[in-house]
């Protein structure tokens, strides 16, 4: 039975508002950080109520596309285009060990693939940029005795960018934020990330040699060390805090 009858669509005010707004952003070539019209103006221009405008903007805010600052205005936080795919991921119980391990499984898959693609497609400029970040990171690691998480992250981002596929950076960035929320609840492992340090250079070497399989293997080793650190942290946590 293939009687295909899609549901009819009668009203979709706020969706229409978002569509119009996306068109406006495109028209005015607005980029991240720029301010978009006030709610009152939008309501008047689009001939809808300010409430409707608010519902639409609330959706964009929930998607992280926009930031509202009371008394100031509403600002773009990311590039928006009329053809966007929204992918709201929900991780239940994300504050626990199992949740972190699940994100790490995703990251393992993506990190390895990104490194391999990078080895295949990385041009001279991209590889030079990665090496620059690597040098910065190694320097920070030495001078600050291991606390180089920010520089570490920048190195990885450079790899994702050089993969030629922006989706890698987008997805892994979201997971990175997740990790940071966890760090606020610091788990007793003081030297977290130490073990992963040497693999950054080995990954870079394989990328620079345009060796996809080697890059993938080194990336997997790096993730494995992070998993070990996480397991150690979980063991510590079990003995102390329970919130």
* DSSP label at residue 83: S
Contacts with DNA by CB under 7 A: the residue count is 26
> Which of 60, 65, 74, 110 touches DNA (CB under 7 A)?
74
Distances in Å between the Cα of 86 and the Cα atoms of 76, 179, 220 are 16, 21, 29
Query: Is there binding between residue 174 and its own copies (CB under 8 A)?
Result: yes
13 CB-near residues (< 8 Å, 6+ apart): 48, 52
List the one residue out of 142, 137, 158 whose CA is nearest residue 207: 158
Among DNA, its own copies, none, the one that 6 touches (CB under a kind-dependent 5 to 8 A) is none
**CA pseudo-torsion sign 144, 145, 149, 155:** positive
Nearer to DNA, 57 or 110 (CB): 57
Query: Is there binding between residue 11 and DNA (CB under 7 A)?
Result: yes
User: Distance between CA atoms of 133 and 140, rounded to whole angstroms?
Assistant: 11
Query: Is there binding between residue 78 and its own copies (CB under 8 A)?
Result: yes
Query: Is there binding between residue 108 and DNA (CB under 7 A)?
Result: no
User: Distance between CA atoms of 62 and 44, rounded to whole angstroms?
Assistant: 24
Site for DNA in 26-45 (CB under 7 A): 38-41, 43
Site for its own copies in 189-218 (CB under 8 A): none
Query: Is there binding between residue 170 and DNA (CB under 7 A)?
Result: no
User: Distance between CA atoms of 6 and 236, rounded to whole angstroms?
Assistant: 54
User: Distance between CA atoms of 156 and 114, rounded to whole angstroms?
Assistant: 10
Nearer to its own copies, 104 or 189 (CB): 104
142 CB-near residues (< 8 Å, 6+ apart): none
List the one residue out of 162, 160, 166, 176 whose CA is nearest residue 104: 176
> Which of 26, 33, 45, 84 touches its own copies (CB under 8 A)?
84
Query: Is there binding between residue 117 and its own copies (CB under 8 A)?
Result: yes
Query: Is there binding between residue 19 and DNA (CB under 7 A)?
Result: no
Among its own copies, DNA, none, the one that 128 touches (CB under a kind-dependent 5 to 8 A) is none
In three-state secondary structure terms, 38 is: coil
Query: Is there binding between residue 72 and its own copies (CB under 8 A)?
Result: no
> Which of 19, 23, 31, 51 touches DNA (CB under 7 A)?
51
**Interface positions with its own copies (CB under 8 A):** 51, 54-55, 58-59, 61-65, 78-81, 83-95, 99, 102-103, 105-106, 108-110, 112-113, 117, 165-168, 170-171, 174-175, 177-178, 181
């Amino acid at each position: 039975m293939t009687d295909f009858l899609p549901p009819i669509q009668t009203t979709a005010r706020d969706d229409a508002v978002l569509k119009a707004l996306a068109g406006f952003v495109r028209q005015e070539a607005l980029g991240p950080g720029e301010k978009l019209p006030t709610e009152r103006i939008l309501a008047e221009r689009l001939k809808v109520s300010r409430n409707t405008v608010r519902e639409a903007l609330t959706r964009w805010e929930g998607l992280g596309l926009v930031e509202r600052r009371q008394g100031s205005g509403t600002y773009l936080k990311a590039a928006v285009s009329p053809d966007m795919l929204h992918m709201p991921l929900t991780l239940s119980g994300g504050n626990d060990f199992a949740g972190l391990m699940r994100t790490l499984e995703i990251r393992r898959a993506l990190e390895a693939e990104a490194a391999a693609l990078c080895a295949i497609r990385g041009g001279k400029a991209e590889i030079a940029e990665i090496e620059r970040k690597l040098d910065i990171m190694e320097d920070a690691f030495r001078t600050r005795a291991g606390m180089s998480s920010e520089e570490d992250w920048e190195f990885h981002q450079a790899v994702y960018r050089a993969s030629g596929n922006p989706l890698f950076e987008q997805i892994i960035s979201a997971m990175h934020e997740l990790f940071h929320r966890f760090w606020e609840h610091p788990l007793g492992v003081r030297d977290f990330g130490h073990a992963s340090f040497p693999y950054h250079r080995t990954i870079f070497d394989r990328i620079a040699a345009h060796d996809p399989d080697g890059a993938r293997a080194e990336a997997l080793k790096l993730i494995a060390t992070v998993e070990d650190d996480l397991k150690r942290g979980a063991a510590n946590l079990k003995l102390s805090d329970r919130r």
